[in-house]
Structure 1
């Protein structure tokens, strides 16, 4: 994960994800990483992790999406801002579609 990319992928098991009003914090295998919330346009979670609802709501309120996948790459859900929230954020009448095609599987490069 790097802060210069707008998509952040957390794959595997056991990450602890939370946020403050300005920062997304990910603790994974003893390593703490922090990203400014505005730099995260999409959070993609693969496997089993612990995520605070405050992290999800803060991301959605700023117009970001959160996608959930099973460990085998099967898509489970994609949360995007509601149309009302999107209009408030962007001034445009419709919200973004989830950029992840559902159903199917996430294909990983070897």
Structure 2
């Protein structure tokens, strides 16, 4: 249970970093309160976690030849697609404008979530 909570927090921090660093990734509406944005961020992190849990392994399986051919670099494209799918599911609460923004956002999310998991998870 704590592992799921740590992953949710890591995803939330990573998504917050992507929203903060990239202007084309927006969270909620402008002028919303900090607490409502935090709740929105947690909901989007939960959606992102479910997408990564269910959809990402299926996409990786079907794109295995491309992953092998590109020596794993196609995983960046898969991360971008998962971020765009999360944006589509979340609707107005989380918006990613364009593929290149999603690619850069996916890279930021991957690096930040890895770093947060390394700091938080002390097993």
The TM-score with structure 1 as length reference comes to 0.23
The TM-score with structure 2 as length reference comes to 0.22
Query: Quick check: which one's helix share is greater?
Result: 2
Query: Quick check: which one's strand share is greater?
Result: 1
Question: Larger RCO: Structure 1 or Structure 2 (Cα < 8 Å, ≥ 6 residues apart)?
Answer: 2
